[in-house]
Amino acid sequence: MWMNIGTKAQAGSRAKQDAFDPDADRLREECGVFGIFGHPQAAAITALGLHALQHRGQEAAGIVTFDGKTFSSERRNGLVGDHFSSAATIARLPGNMAVGHVRYATTGGTILRNVQPLFAELATGGFAVAHNGNLTNGLTLRRELIAGGAICQGTSDTEVMLHLVARSRKARFMERYIEALQQLEGAYSLVSLTNKKLIGARDPVGIRPLVLGELDGCYILASETCALDIIGAHFIRDIENGEVVVISENGIESIKPFPARVMRPCIFEYVYFARPDSVVHGRNVYEIRRNMGAELAKESGVDADVVVPVPDSGVPAAIGYARASGIPFELGIIRNHYVGRTFIQPTQAIREMGVRMKHSANRSVIEGKRIILLDDSIVRGTTSVKIVRMMREAGAKEVHFRISSPPIKYPDFYGIDTPERENLLAATHSMEQIREYIGCDSIAFLSIDGLYRAVGEQKRNPLQPQFTDHCFTGDYPTPLADIENEGQLQKLAMLAEAS
């Protein structure tokens, strides 16, 4: 994925973007990956898979294929459908092996050489890699590599993986690959391609998801099951934490090159990132989100006339809340799905109106009502302020804000775009201050144990948490080498801005 350097500038530009893009005030997944081995339509299938994973990243997309002789690559800024729906583009990607990647949109300039899959010609042959996650020692490794003479082309931590494989002294490719993996810390779900193999790898904690599927006898790797559904493939299993799967003409082989660790996948996949029709670790995301709403109703019920979701992400939890509380569910906010980021708003006054571009109040179900407004999470709170104001302007008598996840208090270092801690509303405000800032009559978040109950656990085990949940708890499951060495971060941030 893209390396979180130059964060201050990005945070600033994202804050400006909040003025007109309600979705900017959310945590964002930064990447989705896909790979297929042995299918004559490999590129077209990968394009479809990436299309289903578009919610994981909208800035850029890329596909690398191999046709037995040559690797071909197409990497573009923009949406998958903008570039990979044309027959001409797919024709430029021949071969029966492919890897693909989508990445999240930043507002800063996009550097095309960061767009994945990254590709390098190594002593062992061509090597392409697509990465979902973030290496917490990516900058440390990068500095060591540069000190040792490596020339980095982009600002991506994924590039470190190419260098580590290239510089390994091991003879066989898989030995090199595993030696490289063993130097990485943080979150990675990788899909890689060589001239003989499709390789999937998941970090020892299993923070970001990765699944194995099958279509027409061909193996597929993808971030989520929705990418299998779109092509009619069937789900085989999740790739395990710390597992490397090697797919070749000889079939599939599973390698476990790390000491065994307990899996702790990211719980936020259930809260927001994953598509509701995906099944993540055996749990249907839509059902889990409904459970979150039901738990929230049990924990913080309030007398009201209607339950109104903030669309689209608040809808399943609002359905669960309405069912559990017996209060009717109503679509009190209508979302316009045809608003793109390309709409340039020339003045502040027009930008202030921007929230209504995507969301508008359905006055007929709001006016004179006591409403329970349901959203999945609060990051900075800027959008929540506007939506509550919109409800009041539409005549709501009372607005009770309910959030189907706990307060986000800590930044992510595992591949999710979060503002700095001081910009996370819940990190710097008491509950009453949050209520006052947002302008609602009451506010309540789901408790951390309520979230765990919603995903099917009895409660969070503080000694051995079942999930990675540190945006809520501050309990980081891996070392944070880069963060501990901030001088180094600054130095490389300048490098990033110059590129």
Any residues with CB less than 8 A from the CB of 454 and at least 6 apart, and which? 270, 288, 289, 291, 292, 294, 295, 446
Whole-angstrom Cα distance, residue 206 to residue 208? 6
Residue 31 is a catalytic residue: yes
| Complex with ligand SF4: residue 154 or 411, whichever CB lies closer | 411
The stretch among 239-247, 329-337, 375-383, 462-470 that binds ligand SF4 (CB under 6 A) is 462-470
Instruction: Return the residue of 218, 266, 280, 424 that touches ligand SF4, per CB under 6 A.
Output: 266
Phi, psi of 206 (to 5 degrees): 75, 45
CA dihedral of residues 103, 65, 71, 193 (deg, nearest 10): 70
Instruction: Read off the tokens for 355.
Output: 């929230």
Give the nearest distance from C-beta 471 to ligand SF4 in angstroms: 3
Q: Which of residues 4-33 bind ligand SF4 (CB under 6 A)?
A: 27
The stretch among 52-60, 254-262, 265-273, 293-301 that binds ligand SF4 (CB under 6 A) is 265-273
Q: What is the CA radius of gyration of the chain?
A: 23
Give the nearest distance from C-beta 434 to ligand SF4 in angstroms: 19
Instruction: Return the residue of 160, 306, 387, 471 that touches ligand SF4, per CB under 6 A.
Output: 471
The stretch among 194-202, 277-285, 355-363, 469-477 that binds ligand SF4 (CB under 6 A) is 469-477
Instruction: Return the residue of 193, 207, 426, 451 that touches ligand SF4, per CB under 6 A.
Output: 207
Instruction: Return the residue of 104, 119, 188, 268 that touches ligand SF4, per CB under 6 A.
Output: 268
In the DSSP assignment, the letter for residue 286 is H
Helices 315-325 and 285-300 cross at an angle (nearest 10°) of 50
Instruction: Return the residue of 470, 492, 493, 496 that touches ligand SF4, per CB under 6 A.
Output: 470
Instruction: Return the residue of 2, 414, 445, 452 that touches ligand SF4, per CB under 6 A.
Output: 414
Q: Is 56 in the site for ligand SF4 (CB under 6 A)?
A: no
Q: Is 405 in the site for ligand SF4 (CB under 6 A)?
A: no
Host H or E run for residue 226: helix 226-229
The β-bridge partners of 193 are 128, 198
The β-bridge partners of 64 are 73, 99
CB atoms within 10 A of CB 497: 13
With CB under 6 A as the rule, give the number of residues binding ligand SF4: 12
| Complex with ligand SF4: residue 268 or 329, whichever CB lies closer | 268
- Report the amino acid identity of residue 358: K
Whole-angstrom Cα distance, residue 191 to residue 201? 7
Q: Is 274 in the site for ligand SF4 (CB under 6 A)?
A: no
The stretch among 72-80, 394-402, 409-417, 425-433 that binds ligand SF4 (CB under 6 A) is 409-417
Q: Is 416 in the site for ligand SF4 (CB under 6 A)?
A: yes
Give the nearest distance from C-beta 44 to ligand SF4 in angstroms: 32
Give the nearest distance from C-beta 416 to ligand SF4 in angstroms: 4
Instruction: Return the residue of 374, 468, 482, 492 that touches ligand SF4, per CB under 6 A.
Output: 468
10 Å CB burial of residue 238 (0-12, 13-18, 19+) is buried
Q: Is 412 in the site for ligand SF4 (CB under 6 A)?
A: yes
Whole-angstrom Cα distance, residue 127 to residue 311? 41
Give the nearest distance from C-beta 473 to ligand SF4 in angstroms: 8
Instruction: Return the residue of 59, 185, 224, 469 that touches ligand SF4, per CB under 6 A.
Output: 469
Q: Is 278 left (phi over 0), alpha (psi -120 to 50) or beta?
A: beta
Whole-angstrom Cα distance, residue 145 to residue 152? 9
Alpha helices in 114-211 (DSSP H): 138-147, 158-167, 173-181
Any residues with CB less than 8 A from the CB of 435 and at least 6 apart, and which? 401, 442, 443
Instruction: Return the residue of 160, 267, 285, 391 that touches ligand SF4, per CB under 6 A.
Output: 267
Q: Name the active-site residue from 31, 226, 440, 471.
A: 31
Whole-angstrom Cα distance, residue 102 to residue 55? 9
Q: Is the separation of the CB atoms in 159 and 152 below 8 Å?
A: yes
Give the nearest distance from C-beta 288 to ligand SF4 in angstroms: 14
So which residues are the catalytic ones? Answer: 31
Interface with ligand SF4 (CB under 6 A): 27, 207, 266-268, 412, 414, 416, 468-471
